[in-house]
Structure 1
Amino acid sequence: MVVQLQMVFQIILLLFSIDAIFVQAAASLAINGSCEASCGGVNIPYPFGIGDGCFVDDWLEVNCSDSWSPPKPFLRSFNLEVLSISLGGTVRVNYPTFYDCENDTRSSTTNIVEFGKSPFIFSQSENRFVAIGCDNLAKMVSVGGLASVIGGCMSICDTGGLMDASTCNGINCCETTIPPQLDAFSATIGKVNDNPQTYVAITMNKGCKSAFLAEEKWFKADYPFSNASDIMLEVPLVLEWGIFNTSFNSLPIANDGSGSTVNNASSNFICITTNRTSIFTCSCKQGFEGNPYLLGGCQDINECLNNPCLNNGFTCENTYGSYNCLVPDSKRAIIIAGISGCLGLLVLFVGGWWSYKVVKHRRMIKQKNKFFKRNGGLLLQQQLSSHEANVENIKLINSKELEKATDNFNENRILGHGGQGTVYKGMLAEGRIVAVKKSKVLDEGKQLEEFINEVVILSQLNHRNVVKLIGCCLETEVPMLVYEYVPNGTLSQYVNGQTQEFPLTWDMRLRIATEVAGALFYLHSAASTPIYHRDIKSTNILLDDKYRAKVADFGTSRSIAVDQTHLTTSLVHGTFGYLDPEYFQSSQFTEKSDVYSFGVVLAELLTSEKAISSTRTQEPRSLAVYFIQSVEQNNLFDIIDSRVLKEGKKEDIIAVANLAIRCLNLNGKKRPTMKEVAMELEAIQMSQQKDHNLQENYEEFEYARAEMYKPGDDLPPPTTSTSSDAQPLIASQST
């Protein structure tokens, strides 16, 4: 009886399986059997389609035009000719070009297709922006709102007028990459050099110029013209496509009728969202191939047709979605004998391995001693034991502790990269969270002495707004420094809008500026040996758990003698946008060079603009120049951050802005010292704090008066007081 019940149960399961197969076949036939599969030799796979009911939504409808012989397929929504469609998420189309020809009244300015609301974007990896022609300055411009340049390149002239598309190296032809997630663009064509005498002898300069977005493979392999004055009205390019989540449930695979849904573990396909979260793409799983958008569209691949096991002497057995390599019986005995012999050899290998580990351990100890000496360990120990060095609380940490602290310098622990090395987050054995800076390999000689000198200098610094050095490790190939960990990132992340969830208030900005100024004044004047930081910028200002400023990254800092006025360097060190123009010209770094860099940070705090920006709607790209010009043109409050305008007093903002202008003076002698800067900022902060206290006291007084009188009583008039501290601060621009 039990056997009969089992047979009945198996028959029922078989019937359900057959029914599911018929449902899948019927759904596939409904899409493929009644729809045109191609047009003019171009395959049109579902979810694209020709005719009603053959496509998943209107964006993927294809029109097969009989106006051509043979017919040509077009994306109906954009009237773009389709060259090929890949189920991998791309479609090749012919796209119009932009051109400029003398004596040609045709206009190419209307050649703009906007994909903004569609599931299409231009493929960043497959396409290149190309400009062709002599003396051609082509710019890629955004569409909609304020048009801004998002890319471009320029090509110079060659008298022969020839070009090589395979290189396109800037002679009669140039190319460049495009921004990600691009869904619309326009192009402008101009001249590289407006001097008419420059190209007098080059007659080909009167020919055509063009600019277009094209598929990189096509352009470099199949571009049909070799003359730079030739143009094409349309060129192939690649679009990336997907399916909107609103249309996703219309797919046959959304539910196959038997309760199996998309991404079920038993499915042979998978669907995921793209970088655009509302758009899906599907693909067959490994071991399957076909159309993942159709029921039963992904079919098992018979890997054994190519017998991947043949090279190993095994036989192949195909499985659903994979394959197995089986050992023939004739070889099984040989394998057993081989294993037995290997076991005997294993004993010998274990003994050899143990001996190797002992020798390796001894070599490692010798190597650590070698690295310790090469990285200046003996010199540092001498400095640590010297009373003149006055080094306090500096630790020599071994490499094993730092490896354990950083999980063997795991990439997930990286906090940032710099010119001097890489910084990792770690936790020491006592539980202290630290930042470990892994330096670059040092050359012996002067560079080594400078590194040791830097360690000694940093260990002497003791200021609440300077990142504290905890210790160092010298027994590795590259020396490592260990700093206190500062958790809340860099000032740049907050003033440049990268951290939207916690915007900086005006009080916080003013306090941070005052703290940084105090730290620089300490480095320049109050430290035992004057120190020039040489790389002050918002990314080198860290914020702790209470959002207090910590000046960091002393990799390029240098100490000088007390009576020394400047530091002369063979190479100019610094960051573009913060670099003192006077230092750039003379190679002489003074304390006023740090003042200039701090002036740029003040401008960042006031405007929330980047020091260098290619997306700024107005020239120049440099924030320092842009800030100075805005002040000179009485446009200061047009560029100030909206939150600063809302929360700050006008006279305080003007005072800080004028201080920034004085710091950015091109003549270093006319800039204030960091002591003067710190004192002025402290005065502004104290004045603002006093105004806050007066307002709070007045509100408490009004509340107390209201409690003393009943409703309906005549209240005496409120008294007001004025203070010279409450008057607007007036600052004059230093010239």
Structure 2
Amino acid sequence: MKVQRLFLVAIFCLSYTQLVKGETLPNCPEKCGNVTLEYPFGSSPGCWRAEDPTFNLSCTNEKLFYKGVEVVEISHSSQLRLLFPASYVCYNSNGHLANGTYYYMDLGNLTISDNNTVTALGCNSYAFVSSNGTRRQSVGCISACDDLSHEANGECNGEGCCQNPVPAGNNWFIVRSYRFDNDTSVQPIFKSQCIYAFLVENGKFKYNASEIYSYLQNRNVGFGFPVVLDWSIKGETCGQLGEKKCGVNGICSNSASGIGYKCKCKGGYHGNPYLRNGCQDINECTTNTIHKHNCSRSSICENTLGHFRCNCRSGYELNTTTNACQPKGTPGYVEWTRIVLGFFPPPHPKH
């Protein structure tokens, strides 16, 4: 029998780009190592939202933690990204259970995002995640190895690896791995291997059977995978609060996972909507490629609060369809012809 091996490539992509400077309360740390802190989270006394200890993080040796689990990103879109370890069971050369562990966590007012999957890695095994919150749920998958030759294609399709989506909204979960056969039916190559079960963010795990990568050997220590959690301000709704709990130019929306609310900046603003003046005007007239104006080359962009406008020099007027300047009284079809052919009036002179 041709020896087949399981190979693992975990694509963490942990260098998440922060688009804006960390926004915290005055005199509070803005970073812990490479992670940018954002209120209502904080790592020092008086720096997190006092009404909810969920937002109390700890910074140790330049790493950020929530209940002992490493945090790698806090986003304005009400999500938290952490590194969760894997549950596992390991077997000796006779196929008997040697050691293992399972992982569980109470997330407080955080909830599991539906941007995650439960994954099982290993032959003739299954994994499941049980969660509790808005309702009790269990989700799992089965990984078989009936024909090891199928495992070499590197797809996580049930041959040595399986995945299943995880529902959102629960704040307590447990992940466990099991083998469903006895030691006599285990293929020799797998007798001294471990089987794993873990949550992982969608797109951040790739199963590959190529010998370019080091194969997964016996180990009795966990290893982390990025997992996305949702967060909101619990206990009140927008109907009870109006907009008063969000900062200036912030918008309140109710949480989809229980009683709570989230804030976001109005269109044309960016920043931290949980701070009083955290939402700042976006200057669309700069070279910012993310929030760029759509004025034509013949018009001049002028930034306004929450928006922008396209201005024309004296004697010209704006065609609101093309955002281009044309001589006053020019029919629209003439301006379209100029744009197609690349003719523009001279730009507004700088003063």
Do both proteins adopt the same fold according to a TM-score greater than 0.5, normalized to the shorter chain?
yes
2:46 paired residue number: 53
The higher-RCO structure (CA 8 Å, 6+ apart) is 2
Distance 2:223 2:332 in 1: 70
| CA pair 46-143 structure 1, distance change in 2 beyond 3 A | closer
Contact 1:119 1:244 in 2 (8 A): yes
Which string of whole-angstrom CA distances, capped at 9 and with x for unpartnered residues, describes residues 633-688 of structure 1?
A: xxxxxxxxxxxxxxxxxxxxxxxxxxxxxxxxxxxxxxxxxxxxxxxxxxxxxxxx
Residue 203 of structure 1: CA displacement?
Answer: 2.1
The alignment's TM-score, normalised by the length of structure 1, stands at 0.35
Distance 1:154 1:194 in 2: 16
| CA pair 99-182 structure 1, distance change in 2 beyond 3 A | same
Residue 288 of structure 1: CA displacement?
Answer: 0.5
1:338 paired residue number: 331
1:317 has 2:302 as partner: yes
Residue 88 of structure 1: CA displacement?
Answer: 1.0
Residue 228 of structure 1: CA displacement?
Answer: 5.1
| CA pair 142-298 structure 1, distance change in 2 beyond 3 A | closer
| CA pair 221-262 structure 1, distance change in 2 beyond 3 A | farther
Task: Please point out which of 271, 278, 288 is paired with 2:252.
Answer: 271
Residue 156 of structure 1: CA displacement?
Answer: 2.4
1:114 paired residue number: 106
Residue 101 of structure 1: CA displacement?
Answer: 0.5
Gaps of 5+ in 1: 1-29, 249-253, 343-735
Contact 2:91 2:99 in 1 (8 A): no
1:168 paired residue number: 156
Residue 311 of structure 1: CA displacement?
Answer: 3.5
1:632 paired residue number: none
| CA pair 191-31 structure 1, distance change in 2 beyond 3 A | closer
Task: Please point out which of 199, 203, 225 is paired with 1:235.
Answer: 225
1:36 has 2:29 as partner: yes
TM alignment of 1:643-682, pairs within 5 A: none
1:97 partner letter = A
1:97 has 2:82 as partner: no
RMSD across aligned C-alpha pairs, in angstroms?
A: 3.6
Paired residue secondary structure (2:205): helix
| CA pair 129-292 structure 1, distance change in 2 beyond 3 A | same
| CA pair 140-114 structure 1, distance change in 2 beyond 3 A | same
1:261 partner letter = K
Paired residue secondary structure (2:171): coil
TM alignment of 1:518-597, pairs within 5 A: none
Paired residue secondary structure (1:203): helix
Contact 1:129 1:178 in 2 (8 A): yes
The structure with the greater share of residues assigned to strand is 2
Residue 185 of structure 1: CA displacement?
Answer: 2.6
Paired residue secondary structure (2:170): coil
2:266 paired residue number: 285
1:295 has 2:276 as partner: yes
Paired residue secondary structure (1:183): strand
Distance 2:218 2:274 in 1: 42
| CA pair 85-339 structure 1, distance change in 2 beyond 3 A | closer
Distance 2:162 2:169 in 1: 22
Task: Please point out which of 46, 59, 62 is paired with 1:64.
Answer: 59
2:6 paired residue number: none
TM alignment of 1:423-442, pairs within 5 A: none
Contact 2:89 2:98 in 1 (8 A): no
Contact 1:98 1:211 in 2 (8 A): yes
Contact 2:316 2:328 in 1 (8 A): yes
| CA pair 221-294 structure 1, distance change in 2 beyond 3 A | farther
TM alignment of 1:716-727, pairs within 5 A: none
Distance 2:249 2:117 in 1: 35
1:92 partner letter = R
1:542 paired residue number: none
Distance 2:82 2:334 in 1: 63
Distance 1:203 1:221 in 2: 18
Residue 43 of structure 1: CA displacement?
Answer: 1.2
Distance 2:246 2:74 in 1: 24
1:218 has 2:204 as partner: yes
Contact 1:89 1:240 in 2 (8 A): yes
1:308 partner letter = H
Paired residue secondary structure (2:203): helix
TM alignment of 1:250-399, pairs within 5 A: 261-262=244-245, 267-306=248-287, 308-311=293-296, 313-329=298-314, 331-332=316-317, 334=327, 336-338=329-331
Distance 1:247 1:309 in 2: 37
Residue 285 of structure 1: CA displacement?
Answer: 0.8
Which string of whole-angstrom CA distances, capped at 9 and with x for unpartnered residues, describes residues 536-588 of structure 1?
A: xxxxxxxxxxxxxxxxxxxxxxxxxxxxxxxxxxxxxxxxxxxxxxxxxxxxx
Paired residue secondary structure (1:101): strand
Residue 225 of structure 1: CA displacement?
Answer: 6.5
Distance 1:340 1:207 in 2: 72
| CA pair 221-292 structure 1, distance change in 2 beyond 3 A | farther
Distance 1:94 1:138 in 2: 19
Distance 2:245 2:201 in 1: 33
How much identity, in percent, do the aligned residues show? 29
Tell me the number of residue pairs that the alignment of Structure 1 and Structure 2 aligns.
285
Residue 181 of structure 1: CA displacement?
Answer: 1.5
Residue 314 of structure 1: CA displacement?
Answer: 2.2
Distance 2:122 2:79 in 1: 30
Gaps of 5+ in 2: 1-22, 318-325, 336-351
| CA pair 160-63 structure 1, distance change in 2 beyond 3 A | farther
The structure with the greater share of residues assigned to helix is 1
2:118 paired residue number: 129
Residue 276 of structure 1: CA displacement?
Answer: 2.9
Contact 1:154 1:192 in 2 (8 A): no
Distance 1:88 1:175 in 2: 26
1:322 partner letter = H
Which string of whole-angstrom CA distances, capped at 9 and with x for unpartnered residues, describes residues 521-545 of structure 1?
A: xxxxxxxxxxxxxxxxxxxxxxxxx
Paired residue secondary structure (1:184): strand
Distance 2:189 2:332 in 1: 80
Distance 1:289 1:340 in 2: 37
Contact 1:131 1:138 in 2 (8 A): yes
1:208 partner letter = C
Contact 2:110 2:230 in 1 (8 A): yes
Distance 2:176 2:244 in 1: 49
Distance 2:217 2:31 in 1: 36
1:402 paired residue number: none
Paired residue secondary structure (1:235): strand
Contact 2:132 2:171 in 1 (8 A): no
Residue 163 of structure 1: CA displacement?
Answer: 6.6
| CA pair 230-246 structure 1, distance change in 2 beyond 3 A | farther
Contact 2:111 2:168 in 1 (8 A): no
Distance 1:312 1:230 in 2: 63
| CA pair 213-339 structure 1, distance change in 2 beyond 3 A | closer
Contact 1:218 1:236 in 2 (8 A): yes
Distance 2:152 2:202 in 1: 16
1:203 has 2:192 as partner: no
1:276 partner letter = S
2:9 paired residue number: none
